Chains A and B, each alone.
Chain A
Amino acid sequence: MESLLQHLDRFSELLAVSRTTHVSTWDPATVRRALQWARYLRHIHQRFGRHGRIRMALERRLHNHWRQEGGFGRGLVPGLANFQALGRCDVLLTLRLLENRALGDAARHHLLQQLFPGPGVPDADEETLQESLASLARRRSAVHLLRFNGYRENPNLQEDSLMKTQAELLLERLQEVGKAEAEGPTRFLSSLWERLPKNNFLKVIAVALLQPPLSPRPQEELEPGIHKTHGEGSQALVHWLLGNSEVFAAFCRALPVGLLTLVTSRHPALSPVYLGLLTDWGQRLHYDLQKGIWVGTEPQDVPWEELHDRFLSLCQAPSPLKDEVLTSLETCKAQDGDFEVPGLSIWTDLLLALRSGAFRKKQILGFSPDLSSV
Chain B
Amino acid sequence: MAQDSVDLSCDYQFWMQKLSVWDQASTLETQQDTCLHLAQFQEFLRKMYEALKEMDSNTVIERFPTIGQLLAKACWNPFILAYDESQKILIWCLCCLINKEPQNSGQSKLNYWIQGLLSHILSALRFDKEVALFTQGLGYAPIDYYPGLLKNMVLSLASELRENHLNGFNTQRRMAPERVASLSRVCVPLITLPDVDPLVEALLICHGHEPQEILQQEFFEAVNEAILLKKISLPVSAVVCLWLRHLPSLEKTMLHLFEKLISSERNCLRRIECFIKDSLLSQAACHPAIFRVVDEIFRCALLETDGAPEVIATIQVFTQCFVEALEKENKQLQFTLKTYFPYTSPSLATVLLQDPQGIPQGQWLQTLKHISELLRKAVEDQTHGSCRGPFESWFLFIHFGGWAEMAAEQLLMSAAEPPTAVLWLLAFYYGPCDGRQQRTQTMVQVKAVLGHLRAMCRSTTLSAKDLQTAAGQGTDTDPRAPAQQLIRHLLLNFLLWAPRGHMIARDAITLKEIRPQ
Which residues of A are at the interface with B, using a C-beta cutoff of 8 A? Answer: 75-79, 81, 85, 88, 91-92, 95, 98-99, 101, 105-106, 108-109, 112-113, 116, 118, 130, 132-134, 136-152, 154, 159-162, 164-166, 168-170, 173, 192, 195-197, 200-201, 204
Contacts and interface: CB of A to CB of B under 8 A. Distances in A.
A140 B139 contact: no
A79 B144 CA distance: 11
B223 interface: no
Contacts of B95: 112-113, 116
Interface of B: 49, 53, 78-79, 81-82, 85, 87-88, 91-92, 95, 98-102, 108, 111-112, 115, 118-119, 121-125, 127-128, 130-131, 133-135, 137-150, 152-157, 179, 182-183, 185-186, 189-190, 193, 195-196
6 contacts: A134-B87, A137-B81, A147-B125, A169-B134, A169-B138, A196-B137
Contacts of A132: 143
Contacts of B111: 105, 108
Nearest to B153: A161
A145 B91 contact: no
A150 B183 contact: yes
B182 A98 contact: no
B78 A139 contact: no
Contact of B182 (A140, A144, A149): A149
Contacts of A98: 115, 118-119, 122
Contacts of A105: 99-102, 108, 111
Given A106-B101, A197-B133, 7 more contacts: A95-B123, A116-B91, A137-B87, A150-B157, A165-B152, A192-B138, A201-B134
A139 B135 contact: no
B153 to A, nearest CB: 4
Residue of B143, B145, B150 contacting most chain A CB atoms (<10 Å): B143
A327 B280 CA distance: 62
A149 B186 contact: yes
Contact of B149 (A76, A130, A165, A204): A165
A166 B81 CA distance: 25
Contacts of B195: 139, 142
Nearest to B49: A118
A91 B140 CA distance: 13
B153 A137 contact: no
A109 B148 CA distance: 32
Contact of A169 (B53, B148, B155): B148
Contacts of B85: 134
B516 to A, nearest CB: 50
B179 A150 contact: yes
A310 B4 CA distance: 73
B139 A78 contact: yes
A152 B85 CA distance: 28
A148 B150 CA distance: 13
Given A92-B141, A92-B143, A146-B154, A140 B125 contact: yes
Contacts of A145: 78-79, 82, 186, 189-190
B254 to A, nearest CB: 32
A328 to B, nearest CB: 34
A351 B143 CA distance: 53
Nearest to B134: A166
A106 B145 CA distance: 32
5 tightest Cβ-Cβ pairs between the two chains A and B: A77-B139, A141-B82, A161-B152, A134-B88, A141-B81
A328 B111 CA distance: 69
Contacts of A169: 134-135, 138, 140, 144-145, 148
B148 A149 contact: no
Given A99-B123, A105-B99, A142 B137 contact: no
B143 A138 contact: no
A205 to B, nearest CB: 11
A79 B267 CA distance: 58
B154 A166 contact: no
A196 B125 CA distance: 19
Given A108-B98, A145-B82, A151-B157, A134 B91 contact: yes
Nearest to A78: B139
A112 B119 CA distance: 12
A151 B154 CA distance: 9
A159 B160 CA distance: 11
B402 to A, nearest CB: 44
Contacts of A160: 156
Given A108-B115, A140-B124, A142-B196, A162 B131 contact: yes
Given A76-B139, A98-B118, A137-B87, A162 B128 contact: yes
Residue of A75, A145, A201 contacting most chain B CB atoms (<10 Å): A145
Contacts of A201: 134
A162 B193 CA distance: 20
B130 A200 contact: yes
Residue of A76, A78, A140 contacting most chain B CB atoms (<10 Å): A140
Contacts of A134: 85, 87-88, 91
Given A118-B49, A136-B122, A161-B152, A146 B141 contact: no
Contacts of A165: 131, 145, 148-149, 152
A154 B125 CA distance: 20
Residue of A98, A154, A161 contacting most chain B CB atoms (<10 Å): A161
Nearest to B196: A142
Contacts of A164: 152, 156
A172 B479 CA distance: 76
A106 B108 CA distance: 12
Given A139-B147, A150-B186, A81 B82 contact: no
Nearest to B121: A137
A201 B134 CA distance: 8
A118 B154 contact: no
Nearest to A203: B130
Contacts of A81: 139
Contact of B125 (A76, A78, A144, A149): A144
Contacts of A141: 78, 81-82, 87, 189
B50 to A, nearest CB: 9
Nearest to A91: B143
B370 to A, nearest CB: 55
Nearest to B137: A196
A152 B108 CA distance: 42
A201 B95 CA distance: 40
B91 A142 contact: no
A166 B193 CA distance: 23
Contacts of A101: 112, 115
A118 B92 contact: yes
Contacts of B179: 150, 152
Contacts of B79: 145
A162 B78 CA distance: 20
B87 to A, nearest CB: 4
A154 B156 CA distance: 9
A197 B130 contact: yes
B171 to A, nearest CB: 15
A173 B82 CA distance: 30
Contacts of B92: 116, 118
A170 to B, nearest CB: 7
B127 A144 contact: yes
Given A76-B139, A146-B154, A137 B122 contact: yes
A130 B133 CA distance: 27
A141 B152 CA distance: 15
